[in-house]
Structure 1
Amino acid sequence: MNEHSSFYFQSYEQWRHAITVRCNINLTPEYARARIHALSDPNDLHTQEFAAKYGDAYLKQVVAWFTRAEQST
């Protein structure tokens, strides 16, 4: 089991709550698009670090959640 598995959010609702309530980030379509763009860039250092730490599957899940947030806000 991955040592970071307790960090992973298991649902969109958990993830959205962490972003909007715990981190106090306004999850606007513009913010979501910016995060999707950054997380989809394999040359972005932060994206590389995220993928190395949490894995490609979780990276894709987070991008999917940002895409859902962009479409629902």
Structure 2
Amino acid sequence: MDFTYESYAHWRKEMTEKGGLTLDASYCKDRINALSNDEEASTRSLIRAYGSEHRDQMLRWFEQALSEI
């Protein structure tokens, strides 16, 4: 998977088609909760690797995906 996304549509396609994920309500809510928690180990790792701006963008995209359900 490509971890540099051009847009929400690109990110969604990578997640669902290439990553095989289902962006259902449960998954989106779980990711939103994890990404919103700076104490979560996976969130700290993501921020170290890609920066807080990337995390913030991912959080917005999961929120958008949830709003489309």
- The TM-score range, normalised by the shorter chain, is over 0.9
2:24 aligns with: 28
Normalised TM-score (structure 2): 0.92
Q: How many residues align?
A: 68
Tell which has more relative contact order, 1 or 2 (C-alpha 8 A, sep 6+).
1
Taking only the aligned residue pairs, the percentage that are identical comes to: 29
Normalised TM-score (structure 1): 0.87
Quote the Cα distance in structure 1 between the aligned partners of 2:9 and 2:17: 11
Mind listing any 5+ residue stretches in structure 1 that lack a counterpart? Answer: 1-5
Q: CA RMSD in A?
A: 1.1
Deviations 1:3-52 (A, max 9, x none): xxx73112000100011100111110111010000111111111001001
- SS of the residue aligned with 1:36? helix
Which one-letter code corresponds to 2:52 in the other structure? D
Mind listing any 5+ residue stretches in structure 2 that lack a counterpart? Answer: none
